[in-house]
Structure formats: structure tokens, C-alpha cells
Amino acid sequence: MSFKKSCGAADHAISRRGFLTSLAAMTGTAAVADMTGIQVLGTRALANDLRQQQKRVILLWLAGGASQLETFDPKPGVTTGGPFTSIQTSTPGIRISELMPRMARRLKDTCIIRSLNTRNADHGSASRIMMRGRMGEPSVDYPDLGAVVAREMGLEGSQVPDYVSFYTATEGRNMSPGSAGFLGARYGSMDLTTSMVPDNIRRTLINDQDHRERAELRNQLSDMFERGRNSSALDSHHQAYRRVTGIMANERLFDIEQEPQRVRERYGPTLFGRQCLAARRLVEAGVPFVRVARAWWDSHAQNFESHQEMVPELDHVMATLLDDLEERGLLRNTLVITLAEFGRTPAINPTVGRDHFASAWSTTLSGCGIRGGSVYGRSDDLGNRVVDGEIGAARLFATIYRALGINPHKNYYLGARPIPLTDPGTEPIREVLA
């Protein structure tokens, strides 16, 4: 099994192809009882080691556009600042909103980027830009970040989905759906929009023995049918079947009641907290990309009241997630991102709200490959414009890919046409990377 450098250290990564070769040799086409697709390698110690080395992403999508001024780029004491003050973080010289005391204490793994100028303040088109890292074009359906990570980090023999999206609120769901684009449905998202558990996952009428016998019979019939045939369609069908049966055999992975009560209480009772706990369970089991959407940030009216309620929840859940990942040895190879379609205006409107704003807003990157306890970029004293380190979506995505060990300059192909992963000439932000 070969190893290669990623996330800044050789012992933090494992060759995808090397892993697949070993997995295929050791497991063949046998049904896997453990959803991880990793446990089958033999020992619990090896399985745990591979879990820790596999790279993955958790995206906290703040649908509607959270205010940077009430979170990671406060401006207290000025006309645009609002009623909240700022507090000192664990990193000298870096201050964030007083509504985020837990993140202030554990900034060591997080880089705050305060200089996004994405030039689009329309929910639909801005969401597509911030999910894909680029503007669209009529002739190319670009894949979103989750699909790219699924393509690059997913394991072909895995029994888990490559991309899971929790987006149970209605706000923004139709405007920012996960899309595999030209990569195809193989890398599309498993969308959980009304429940935390996939539909029709439970085997209520057959037991484990019946399930295994059906799988064995199917394999025998498939082998008979495939003799003398070579079909990519058949291979794709088998792969999909193995993935589905693996998920069905491991429905408990989506059930956070399997976690000790103290862990569930730690994340809190909110849907956002429960979904982030589910996200941790999924990435620990080998899912490369999980998106958890927290909606209702579109605060055109009563901005301060809504953020006073929602920001402390984000603070609690985000800090808990980072702590949990770190304690489990997963944070060094898990990239946690907070992102939205845009931020909020510094100007306060007549209904005491903040409107859409894409000219100077913030995001955060934590964990894998990131220089924690740092800030990149700066907005002016009122928050109206970027005065240092301005970046767009393309450069942010190039930085994300580099942090994960993905070459941001690689090409995919539509027929003979090369499609670069990021806009040509785009370089990662070196100051953000570990």
C-alpha cells in the first residue's frame, strides 16, 4: 500500500488507488456488513488508522447569507457595526463577535478569511457560484464542490455514499442543490430534505440471513449473465447495487441514537446540532463529503434579533464539532468549511435588517491543511469594501483543493475538451495553507 503527501504530512494520507487495489484483493465482491468499507480490511486497529488518514470535508452551509459583522468580522463602535461588541480570541490580535465565545476560545484550528468579493448578490446564481467555485457557462454543467471531492476522495469499493447533503429547511434548497454536473450521477449527492435518514433504507420484512442469501443468489446469476460480456453499464449497475445494499445493511450509521447520551447532549437538541453529529458519524465511517445546511440567515428585517438567536447556535455546534473531530483523531484530515452564497450589507435598512452583500464578506476553513489561529484579508473600517487580500470564489476553491491534496490545476475532460478544476491561472492562498 503506497502513501503520498497530503494535508502537509506524508503520514496523513493514503494513496487512493493503492487502497482500492488492496481492498479489491482482500474483499473481492463479498457483501460488507460494516458500512465503512474499511473494517473489512481485517483488524480494528488498521481500520481505525485508515479512517484517520482518509481525507474528508464537512461543509456548514449558512443558507440565505449570514452576516459577517455579527460573526467573524465585527465592526463595533461604528455606524454600521450594530449593537454587539467584539471579543478577543485565543489568538492575540484577532477578535470576533461576542456572540461566538466558544469559537473565540478554540480558534487554533481555524483560519478566518475576511476578504471575499464574489460580485453576485442574487440568491440563486450566487449559490451556484459558491457551490461550484466559478461562474457557469451555457455549454458546461460544472460539478459542485461535493461532487469533486466525491470523485477525488471516494473509494470505489466503499459501502458508504460519497456525498451526503442535509438540507431539511426550505429556504434556499431549490436555489443551491448539489449537482454532479458533467461528472455524472455517480458522484451526485444523497439528499436528505425531510428526514435525517434516507428513505426506504430499512429492511423491515427480511432478516440479515435472508439479505445475505439474496445477495449471494444475485451474485451467482450476475456471474452467469456476464460470461462472455464486457459492459461498463453492468459494472456501473453492480457498483450501485453494492453501494445501496451496504447502506441498507448499515442503517444505524444515520441513527444518532446510537451515540452515547453524553455525546448527543454535547451537540445540543437543535436540528443543526443533530445533523452535525450525524455528519461526524458519516465522515468517521468513510463518507468523503457531507453538507449540513442551516437556513434562515436572510435577515432583511430584524437582523440583530435573528442573529442573536442563530449565531450562538452556530458557535456552539461548530466548536463542538471541531472538538469532537480532534478528540477522535480526525480533524487533521477533515476540512470543516463555513460558507454561504454571500454576506450582509454593512448598511442597516429601515426595517433594522441587513440586505444581500457580496463585496466584502467572510468564510472560515478549519482543520486539514489549514494554518489555524489566523486571519487572511481585511475589510475597511465600515466593512464596505476589501482593502487587503481580495479573493473571489475561484481562489477560495483552489485553496480548498490544495488543502485536501487535490491539484487545483488538473483537468477533467468532456470528450477531448479539457475542463480545468478551477479557472485558469488561479492560485491557492499560500498564507492560508499549513
- pLDDT number for residue 200: 59
The single-letter code of the amino acid at 239 is Q
C-alpha span between 375 and 92 (Å, rounded): 11
* β-pairing verdict for 378-379 and 163-166: unpaired
For the chain, the domain total comes to 1
Asked, for residue 311, whether it belongs to a domain, the answer is: yes
What pLDDT digit, counting tens, does each position of 282-318 carry? 999 999 999 999 999 999 999 999 999 999 999 999 9
Asked, for residue 88, whether it belongs to a domain, the answer is: yes
C-alpha span between 107 and 271 (Å, rounded): 24
Least confident span in 6-10, 285-289, 324-328: 6-10
C-alpha span between 402 and 406 (Å, rounded): 5
C-alpha span between 316 and 149 (Å, rounded): 27
How many angstroms separate the Cα of 419 from the Cα of each of 140, 168, 183, 414, 424?
9, 33, 11, 7, 10
Mean pLDDT confidence for 399-419: 96
Contact 151, 143 (CB under 8 A): yes
Give every CB contact of residue 7 below 8 A, 6+ residues apart in sequence.
Answer: 13, 55, 332, 333, 368, 369, 403, 404, 405, 434
What pLDDT digit, counting tens, does each position of 246-284 carry? 555 556 788 999 999 999 999 999 999 999 999 999 999
Asked, for residue 82, whether it belongs to a domain, the answer is: yes
Domain boundaries, position 156: 10-197+255-432
- pLDDT number for residue 380: 98
Task: Let me know the angle formed at the C-alpha of 272 by 89 and 172, rounded to the nearest 5 degrees.
Answer: 105
What pLDDT digit, counting tens, does each position of 349-404 carry? 999 999 999 999 999 999 999 999 999 999 999 999 999 999 999 999 999 999 99
Mean pLDDT confidence for 40-48: 49
- Joined together, the cell numbers standing for residue 265 give 447532549
Q: What is the pTM of this model?
A: 0.83
> Looking at residue 404, what DSSP letter applies?
T
Above 50 in pLDDT, residue 18?
Answer: no
- pLDDT number for residue 14: 40
User: H-helix or E-strand containing 110?
Assistant: strand 110-116
Q: H helices of 328-433, where?
A: 393-403
Paired residues of 164 in beta bridges: 190, 290
Above 70 in pLDDT, residue 185?
Answer: yes
Mean pLDDT confidence for 48-68: 87
Asked, for residue 191, whether it belongs to a domain, the answer is: yes
Helix axes 145-153, 393-403, angle to 10 degrees: 20
- Overall size of the chain counted in residues: 434
Asked, for residue 419, whether it belongs to a domain, the answer is: yes
State percent of the chain over pLDDT 70: 76
Distance, first Cα to last Cα, the chain: 26
The single-letter code of the amino acid at 87 is I
Return mean pLDDT, the chain. Answer: 84
Above 80 in pLDDT, residue 37?
Answer: no
* β-pairing verdict for 378-379 and 386-388: antiparallel
How many angstroms separate the Cα of 11 from the Cα of each of 44, 50, 55, 84, 333?
19, 11, 12, 43, 10
| Number of alpha helices (DSSP H) and beta strands (DSSP E) in the chain | 11, 16
Least confident span in 90-99, 173-182, 231-240: 231-240
Asked, for residue 122, whether it belongs to a domain, the answer is: yes
Asked, for residue 300, whether it belongs to a domain, the answer is: yes
Paired residues of 375 in beta bridges: 112
C-alpha span between 54 and 12 (Å, rounded): 8
Residue bearing cell 464539532: 321
Give every CB contact of residue 43 below 8 A, 6+ residues apart in sequence.
Answer: none
What pLDDT digit, counting tens, does each position of 218-244 carry? 667 766 776 666 655 555 455 555 555
- pLDDT number for residue 157: 72
Of residues 1 and 343, the one with the higher pLDDT is 343
What pLDDT digit, counting tens, does each position of 116-139 carry? 999 999 999 999 999 999 988 889
CATH code of the domain covering residue 94: 3.40.720.10
Asked, for residue 238, whether it belongs to a domain, the answer is: no
